[in-house]
Structure 1
Amino acid sequence: MNRSIKRILEALTEEEMRTILLHQWTLFTYVEEEKISEKEWINQVKEMKKGTERVCEDRLHPFQGEAGKVVEHVHIVFSESTKGSLQLALRRKEETKEEVIALSPMFSIGPIQDLDKEEGIEKRKEWLFNHLVMDDEQWMHMVEDSLKVIEDLRSIPTGVPITIWVGDNAHEQTGLRFVLHLLKNKPNGIYTVQVTDALDFPLHTGELSPARLVSLLERFPSSPLSDESMETYRDEWRALSEENANLRVWERGIQSVSEDYFDATLIQTLKELQFESDMDDYIKAARLIGEVLGHSSQVVGDSFFEYRVRELVLQGEFMLMGVPRGMRYYAVKWHK
């Protein structure tokens, strides 16, 4: 097994873990009472381990090793929250044979070159670690989690239709191009739901409630993407990955921009917040970032904005009070 024991066991429920522990405890008691030999105990442990690994692998790879499972449609989204909402919407429609796969990296930030290879994911992981405040668990398992999702996409059975859900933002639109790059050898029909076009307002699919998603499920696109359209998307992915910028925004298309693209907005917003309160007040970083996020038409995540706040501190634009181990723990003030 090339996946850690911890990661495999995460696929089990708490009840299944308790059952395994009880089973092992019972076997050990039998050995102590000489009801079974140590050799028999070891053989039973080996059999149980094999069975558990099969169950876990089936769950970790939704299209592999499940001869009785029939998947009639696969949906691809770009956040875990969207995945949960769409799964709920599908249950409301009683669509139980449809699978949802989420690609959760923020595609609008960080390097994306060779993102379908382990070395490319490692370089992205290094950049994120050096620039953003990240959850340790997420960072530690980034490479194996990314490779697993890529494997899941490539293992979608032939003939199963695929629908990719996107809004007008650099994150999901870059993700769409990456997915089509990964699926370039798939003969499956591939559809897209462009939610911003369909509903006129959401920038991001994650803004949609399950009820809204149900309404969109009712009016699915009637025809898949043409070969020409898919090739255009793949060409755009190749161009973006070669540019390998660390920030992408949506301006009538995906634009690679410099990392300081939002700095002027952060500075102006901080000035306004200080003016509204007291020019001598420090403003909580979380409040500043929330204000910028709330008025931004871009989807880059609060972690990137916090990175730029810290950079502006280092550049002498902002003064700092507190320890910047997280946006809730420090405040900033414009250096007049």
Structure 2
Amino acid sequence: MRTRQTEWEEQQTYVHLLFSMSDAGTMKVSLSKIGKRAESRVYALNDLFSQGPLWNLEEEAGRRQRMEWMLDHSVEPVCSHSYRSNHEGQIESMIDLLQSVPESKHIIIWHSDNAHEQVGLRFALHVLRERKTPVHTINVSQYEASYEPFLPKVYAFGQLKSEDVQGLLESAGDEFLLQEGERRRLEAEWKELAEGGGTLRLWEDGRIVTVPEDSLDERLIRIIEHLEAEKEQEQQEQEQQEQEQQEQDLEELDVKSLLDKMQEEDDMAQGENRVRRGLFFIGMSSGHGQNKAFVRAGRVVQETEKWGQLIGYSYIEYRLWTLISDGVLEFSGLPGAMYRYSVRVKK
């Protein structure tokens, strides 16, 4: 017996694959705005392929190894049994869904110039290696570079504006068809990545580069040093302004009248010294007790977006705590959330 769900699935002629739930949501909204939601199904391979082992993800052992690594290299409280089950099942279910897409439907894989989405593209093509029907792939970084060459290049699908996605959907055609030779090359690259054993990947000079887990540490330290210098400069300027204001107030203050009132207790020289010391200590209490060099951990992590990589905040924060444990950094505040603690390079 035919159901409404069956009829709806038969109407869907396109399958769009993206690499985060957020990007999938953007795609659904864009499809709806141009009247193509009913004919399209949207899948999200919701992982972060720029980090973690890639070995044997089509088997339970490989997925479990990957999950254990992700949990060991994260500071977020995600160690519950339900999280483990949902995450492993998500990869497994996406493999089943992709392999079950009928040959009559068109698959479009959306990606951009970052290691996460580029690795995801290769994994998806590996899963679809037995599929006979050609696959379409759209690199939004290359599209944006040619469509708006004077704007900064996007390095992730999530940076696209909704109208850009709508424009791509309306113009997508055979120019996005992945040629057979290129398809096999990308499948082979997945095999190399999966068997290579690396756990951190960057996108450099148009290719995926596997790097050591600590390769970002020096960049993090430079960010912290730069933010420390900025903060110290701001505080010096603020202290200079406060000092200038105090000097102006001192000039305007009728010191003589104050000293006359204090004459019975002390002589003029002692009274003037007392007034000046009082003003000095008032100025000292306005900010000198603060930890000047510490900078918010959240600000440090936010600055890594300028690298043009898609690595994940959790891993960056994990590296911060590794540097703290190694004695390279020190922190002030309460661990648990990036807005609750600050870091600085240990002197």
Verify same fold: TM over 0.5: yes
8 Å contact kept, 1:323–1:330: yes
User: In the alignment, which of 291, 305, 309 is matched to residue 320 of structure 2?
Assistant: 309
Aligned to 1:282: 294
For residue 229 of structure 1, report the CA deviation from its aligned partner: 1.0
CA distance in 2: counterparts of 1:190 and 1:74, whole angstroms: 10
1:202-221 paired onto structure 2 within 5 Å: 202-221=154-173
Deviations 1:87-108 (A, max 9, x none): 1111112111111101110110
8 Å contact kept, 2:298–2:339: yes
Unaligned runs of 5+ in 1: 1-54, 59-64
CA distance in 1: counterparts of 2:83 and 2:180, whole angstroms: 36
Unaligned runs of 5+ in 2: 146-152, 233-290
8 Å contact kept, 1:181–1:237: yes
Aligned to 2:212: 258
Query: What one-letter code is carried by the residue in structure 2 that aligns with 1:296?
Result: W
**How does the TM-score come out when normalised to structure 2?**
0.75
User: In the alignment, which of 25, 49, 70 is matched to residue 107 of structure 1?
Assistant: 49
Aligned to 1:321: 332
CA distance in 1: counterparts of 2:98 and 2:77, whole angstroms: 25
User: In the alignment, which of 6, 10, 15 is matched to residue 74 of structure 1?
Assistant: 15
User: In the alignment, which of 27, 31, 39 is matched to residue 90 of structure 1?
Assistant: 31
8 Å contact kept, 1:192–1:221: no
Q: Which has the larger displacement, 134-143 or 124-133?
A: 134-143
For residue 140 of structure 1, report the CA deviation from its aligned partner: 4.5
Say what the alpha-carbon RMSD is for the aligned residues.
Answer: 1.9
Matched residue pairs, number?
273
State the structure with more CA Rg. 2
1:132-147 paired onto structure 2 within 5 Å: 132-134=74-76, 136=78, 138-147=83-92
8 Å contact kept, 2:46–2:90: no
8 Å contact kept, 1:313–1:319: yes
8 Å contact kept, 2:200–2:210: yes
Query: What one-letter code is carried by the residue in structure 2 that aligns with 1:266?
Result: L
8 Å contact kept, 1:193–1:221: no
CA distance in 2: counterparts of 1:262 and 1:117, whole angstroms: 31
CA distance in 2: counterparts of 1:276 and 1:202, whole angstroms: 27
8 Å contact kept, 1:167–1:196: yes
Aligned to 2:201: 248
8 Å contact kept, 1:129–1:139: no
Whether 1:126 and 2:79 are equivalent positions in the alignment is no
8 Å contact kept, 2:118–2:208: yes
8 Å contact kept, 1:289–1:306: yes
Deviations 1:293-322 (A, max 9, x none): 2x1111101111111111111111101223
**How does the TM-score come out when normalised to structure 1?**
0.77
CA distance in 2: counterparts of 1:73 and 1:115, whole angstroms: 26
State the identity as a percent: 31
For residue 69 of structure 1, report the CA deviation from its aligned partner: 2.6
CA distance in 1: counterparts of 2:75 and 2:49, whole angstroms: 17
Bigger relative contact order, structure 1 or 2 (CA pairs below 8 A, ≥6 apart): 2
Query: Which consecutive segments of 4 or more residues in structure 1 shift more than 6 A?
Result: none
